[in-house]
Every structure is written in C-alpha cells, then in structure tokens.
Amino acid sequence: MQDKAGANADAEINPVVDTSHRSAFLEPLYRRYFPLACFSTLGSWLLRFLFGWSAWELTHSAWWVGVVAGVMLLPTFFLSPLFGIVSDRINLRNGLLVTIALHGLIAAVAAVVTALGALDVLWLVALAGAMGAATSAHTPIRLALLPLMVSRQSLPSAIGLSAMVFNASRILGPALGALVVARYSVTAAFMLSVVMFCIAMPILMSIHIKKVVSTRVPASFRNELIAGMRYAAKHPVIRFVLGLTLINGLLGRTLLELLPAFSGQLLDGRAQTLAILSGAGGVGSILGGLIVSRQGGSDAHLLRLVMACLLSASMCLLSVQWLSGLYAFVLLIFVLSMITTMVGTSSQALAQLLVDEQFRGRVLSLWTVIAMGAPALGAMLIGALAQQFGFATVTLGAGLLAMLVLIPVGYKMWQR
C-alpha cells in the first residue's frame, strides 16, 4: 500500500490529457442517477430546514437553533473519515441505498413524533444527531460512487451538476418547507421529505454498477485511516489540492457564512437585505457549478482554474472597503459565491481524477472534512476579528494574506 502511495508521490499533473468537455448526461448511468440526486438532496435540505424551524418554534432561542445546526454538522468531522474507510470496502450503490433509507427513516420518525405532539428539544437534538451521522456516511459514499458512473472527461460535468443540485436545493428546500408549513403543518412537511427519499430509493435500485473486486486484505480501521492520511500527505498534487480547499474555506467561503453579521455591519441589517444577499449567493453558487460542469477532464486546466478563482476571491475581499450600497454588495456576494463554488467543485474533481481507486473514499472524506470544517473555523476567527476591527479591515487583511500565499504558487504553476 505504501509502495503505491510512494509511486504516486512522484506523479506530476499530465497536461496532455484530453481537455474536451463531455456532458455527464451522455452517460447512461448518470442519467438514471441525476433524478434520485435531485430528490434526495432536496429532501435532505427540507429536513434540515424543518429541524431548525422546529427548534425555533419550540424554544424561540437562537442558541438552541445553533445547537441543532451544530449537532447536524458535528458528526461530519469525526465520522466522515471512518465512513471513508467503509466506502473503500463496500458495494457503493448498496451503501448509498442504506444512507438514503436512514434519512427517510429519520424524517418518518420526526413526522410521527410531531403528529403525536411529543416533539421536544431532546427529541429534536437526537434526530438532528442521527441525521448528522447518516449524512457523514452518505457524503463519502456518494462522492466515491460518482466516478464509477461516468468517464474521465465527464467527471467535472457530473461534479458540477451535483454542485448545482446541492446549491439549488439549499435554496428550494427551505422555501418549499416554509410554504408547506404555512399552508398545512410541520408534520406534512416532514412527510413530504419522506416521500422524496422514497422516490429516490427505487431509482437507485435500478442502477447496476459493476463492482471492482479488491484483492487486498482489509487492515484495521486505525491502520487504514493512517494509510489514507499518509497517501494524501505523500501525493504532491492531492496534498496541494487539499491545501487550496483549506484556503478557499478559511477565506472565501467564510464571508458567505457570516452574511448576517456582514449585512448588519456594512448595510442596514434588515431581514429583507439579508434575504437579497443570500439569494445572490445562491444564484452565484448555481452558476459556479454550471461553469465547472462545462469543463473537461484535464488536471492542469482544472488546477489553473482553481488558482485563478482563488486569486479572484482574494481581490473580492480586498474590494470590500471601497464598496458602498446594496447593489455593490449584491454583486460582490454573487461573484464571491460563484468563484468559491468553482474552487470547491473543481478541487473535488481534481481529487477524484488523481486518487487511486483503493484510497478514493478516504481521500474524499478528508476533502469533505476540510471543505465543510474550514468555513466554520474561519467564520469563528474572522467573526471575532471583525467584531473588534470591522469587516472592511479584516477582509483587507485576509485578501492580502491570501494573495501573498497564492501569487508565488500561481507564478510557478504558470511557468511550467
């Protein structure tokens, strides 16, 4: 295993790879997969919204809403690497079937408990924690399954389309949930989430993917986790991609996580203003996924795209102190969301294209932890600094720091 990792450590990005774009919709398996991705992702975001809504309705406490959100996110950091190992061992389609069924079961329990009038904070925290655990299993399995359904040239397209579905669902899920709650009830909204997962499951069962049988003898979870981390650390390009993902999360995505405070400090802080900024960010994310879905399977091209977007994100941060008025900030959030989504989606595509099959689940679980954890860590750090020095000053410093790191790296890359 280590010999394989060592061999890959000497690998360079191959600039000769065919850069032509091939739509993932030309791949028969992906055409079947896409509808189930739409239903399951929308159902997941609807469920997330309902847990947050229920927390507010039960407590009218922003702290409890934050607790429920944190409980849904926390298992990702601890369980995703373990499920990355699992995804390297199992039949991925069957694994995804189990995780979707678990999401549906959680939604069904929530619907029953709510209908009986028994939903309280303890039930809510328990269900949110269960969903967090199910999601931490679902994500590495889903990411590892994607390359088995498409060709190399179609992989960026498939990942870009998945990003579009994810970001569109992040907007539509809460909107649909609010509509159903307003017109019917929270129970009906939970049941709608169940229906979406139930629609996704038979579609997934119709997809048959030839399983690659591994001849290696599985080691202990601890040894396989260590082997995966060593592989990622020794592979120069994967290590570099994970580093760029970290920079994107700590700097670019952080501002989007802090939109309520950002709006409060630099604009009027009204709910309507925050909704407009959030909408601009959502549209930018969808467009970013669409742009990546039009890229080919060249490692070098995708890496240059990531670097160009990160440098653009740095310039966006630098510009904050000179902007004024709602329209200027709407444009800023739109552009920043678009390019940071392009970085995240392209970096995932690079990791997918470069990793050896036996390490795919573990490497992608590391990517997931960094991509999801870095914005949360960055939001805490930059939020604290912005409280003391203001967003204009902090974003100026963050943009300068990012450019100091990225410009020398980008120069060397373009010299190759």
| pLDDT given for residue 416 in this prediction | 55
Residues 6+ apart with CB under 8 A from 352: 143, 146, 147, 155, 159, 360, 364
pLDDT confidence bin for 412, thresholds 50/70/90: low
| pLDDT given for residue 271 in this prediction | 62
Mean pLDDT over all residues of the chain? 83
Say which range, 97-111, 265-279, 382-396, has the weakest mean pLDDT: 265-279
| pLDDT given for residue 4 in this prediction | 43
| pLDDT given for residue 391 in this prediction | 80
Mean pLDDT of 42-52: 90
What would the pLDDT profile of 81-129 be if each residue is shown by its tens digit? 888 888 878 788 889 999 999 999 999 999 999 999 999 999 999 999 9
Nearest to 246, CA basis, from 358, 113, 129, 375:
375
CA distance 50 to 356: 39
pLDDT confidence bin for 397, thresholds 50/70/90: confident
Helices then strands, each counted (H, E), the chain: 16, 0
| pLDDT given for residue 148 in this prediction | 86
Residue % of the chain over a pLDDT of 90: 20
CA distance 143 to 387: 37
pLDDT confidence bin for 379, thresholds 50/70/90: confident
Q: Is the pLDDT of residue 325 over 60?
A: yes
What is the fold, at CATH topology level, of the domain defined by 2-415? Growth Hormone; Chain: A; (1.20.1250)
Residue 241 · residue 354 · CB < 8 Å: yes
Q: Specify the residue for token string 């979707």.
A: 100
Domain boundaries, the chain: 2-415
More confidently predicted of 411 and 137: 137
Q: What is the pTM of this model?
A: 0.78
Mean pLDDT of 169-187: 87
| pLDDT given for residue 3 in this prediction | 41
Q: What DSSP designation does 249 have?
A: I
Burial of 399 (0-12, 13-18, 19+ CB in 10 A): buried
Top-confidence range, 114-118, 151-155, 325-329, 398-402: 114-118
Nearest to 255, CA basis, from 319, 346, 324:
319
Say which range, 142-156, 204-218, 331-345, has the weakest mean pLDDT: 204-218
Burial of 393 (0-12, 13-18, 19+ CB in 10 A): middle
CA distance 66 to 308: 34
| pLDDT given for residue 8 in this prediction | 41
Q: Is the pLDDT of residue 319 over 60?
A: yes
pLDDT confidence bin for 196, thresholds 50/70/90: very high
| pLDDT given for residue 222 in this prediction | 76
CA distance 310 to 341: 10
Q: Is the pLDDT of residue 2 over 50?
A: no
Q: Is the pLDDT of residue 9 over 50?
A: no
Mean pLDDT of 302-319: 89
pLDDT confidence bin for 17, thresholds 50/70/90: very low
pLDDT confidence bin for 44, thresholds 50/70/90: very high
